[in-house]
Amino acid sequence: MSRGVRRAGAGQGAAAAVQLLVTLSFLPSVVEAQVTGVLDDCLCDIDSIDNFNTFKIFPKIKKLQERDYFRYYKVNLKRPCPFWAEDGHCSIKDCHVEPCPESKIPVGIKAGSSNKYLKVANNTKELEDCEQANKLGAINSTLSNQSKEAFIDWARYDDSQDHFCELDDERSPAAQYVDLLLNPERYTGYKGPSAWRVWNSIYEENCFKPRSVYRPLNPLAPSRGEDDGESFYTWLEGLCLEKRVFYKLISGLHASINLHLCANYLLEETWGKPSWGPNMKEFKRRFDPVETKGEGPRRLKNLYFLYLIELRALSKVAPYFERSIVDLYTGNVEEDADTKTLLLNIFQDTKSFPMHFDEKSMFAGDKKGAKSLKEEFRLHFKNISRIMDCVGCDKCRLWGKLQTQGLGTALKILFSEKEIQKLPENSPSKGFQLTRQEIVALLNAFGRLSTSIRELQNFKVLLQHSRCHCI
């Protein structure tokens, strides 16, 4: 090779290296520039959400999740997939969920009714059991006999028409308590065809999407040349508000889950001791605007939109918990009182947020059409909750079920405003109620979103540091 050719090659290599450094230094600013500003379909900006979450919500919701009432979640991880033959459960050790022995569960949680968060008798002939529950403190001791009868009627009430999720039967022998603090959501190695089939079924069959329109980065989609997903977003923008919201909620949930996996990644394992932490490469692969052809920032914006939806639900459901009749009962009277105080404090913060999503803009057309669309919306989401039983990794299934149920509970709340406003102070309501399972899922799901936004801030800092080191 001639000296001139070598010089030319060296010059080209140096130019490529400089270009790489410029690109790497530019990427963080691109991420920040694209995940900012006012969100579509609402009047809230991302910076306001970041500040509100960091200084008001995150420290308190994290503390709440550590309380006994919220750390134990009863779930059935053995329900068969209702849509296709299962591939068999993941054998990766990090997919395993360690159930909590009954002896470790607080007595008040175990004593509670199988499907209600307050201890009640399930039969009018079992008033003695109801009286015993009264002594345990699950029911306010000042209740009249009439109110006790109302509790019994309430326990029988079938509110399945209000549910956006397929709830596990907590009385099933296969349902077990799980300590969420001992089984954290993080990267397990579960991926490939099994995982893609779950998400593909969610997006392709349940997001009101025609099969002819392919979502961006779908590995099952045919090559579309230079499209880069523009045809998908042209289609999405042409949908009614309700269907756009549905897609954004699912996309936001997907983004949140991916952020948790990136932030709690198995970095190394030495002598059987794993080291977990943020994985920059994985974060860029999933969210960087260059690597995702602009799709990553859109997904992160949908995370913020989902946060707004659940934040609004918490502000709306506050009156339900502010009643003296509601106890977050575990059997530890002092801690139970502190837990309720902390929860009400969080509700006060949610009410103070100045830029809430206006759910009244949804299903606001003619009554018949709005009712039909709402029911379609509910059934599509309920179907997604059933797909969670098709997840092959137990830990992914656990957190998928919990976060889906939490979002489903938030939707149930948003569309039950009139019933919540009519709640009696000292007796249960047939019009609206929440099971303990729903309450635990609602607050933990919102806690996961709060953590996602906090983790996103951490990744931005790490990206800035990497940019400084590259320059």
Q: Which residues are catalytic?
A: 393, 396
Eight-class DSSP state of 45:
B
Residue 188 is assigned to a ligand binding site: yes
Residue 276 is assigned to a ligand binding site: no
Residues ≥6 apart with Cβ < 8 Å to 45? 36, 37, 38, 39, 355
- Tell me the CA distances in angstroms from 293 to 29, 113, 200, one per residue in order: 16, 50, 19
| Cα 460 from Cα 29, distance rounded (Å) | 9
| Local structure of 73: helix, strand or coil | strand
Residue listed under structure tokens 């830029």: 355
DSSP alpha helices (H): ranges in 273-393?
Answer: 280-287, 295-322, 333-352, 367-387
Residues ≥6 apart with Cβ < 8 Å to 125? none
| Cα 370 from Cα 355, distance rounded (Å) | 25
Residue 380 is assigned to a ligand binding site: no
Residue 84 is assigned to a ligand binding site: no
| Cα 2 from Cα 42, distance rounded (Å) | 63
- Closest-CA residue to 261 (of 199, 200, 189): 189
Q: How many residues does the chain have?
A: 471
Residue 251 is assigned to a ligand binding site: yes
- Closest-CA residue to 148 (of 131, 162, 166): 131
| Structural contact between residues 139 and 133, judged by C-beta atoms closer than 8 angstroms | yes
Eight-class DSSP state of 452:
H
Produce one character per residue of 107-144: b if its CB has 16 or more CB atoms within 10 Å, e if not. ebbebbbebbbbbbbeeeeeeeebeebbeebbbbeebe
| Cα 209 from Cα 234, distance rounded (Å) | 12
| Structural contact between residues 183 and 398, judged by C-beta atoms closer than 8 angstroms | yes
> What are 284's two structure tokens?
């860029």
| Structural contact between residues 206 and 383, judged by C-beta atoms closer than 8 angstroms | yes
Q: Is 160 exposed, middle or buried (0-12, 13-18, 19+ CB in 10 A)?
A: exposed
| Structural contact between residues 88 and 392, judged by C-beta atoms closer than 8 angstroms | yes
Q: How are beta strands 72-76 and 265-270 bridged, if at all?
A: unpaired
Question: Within 13 Å of residue 423, how many CA atoms lie on the same side as its CB?
Answer: 22
| Cα 442 from Cα 117, distance rounded (Å) | 13
Per the annotation, binding residues for FAD are 186, 188, 199, 251, 254, 286
Binding site per annotation, positions: 186, 188, 199, 251, 254, 286
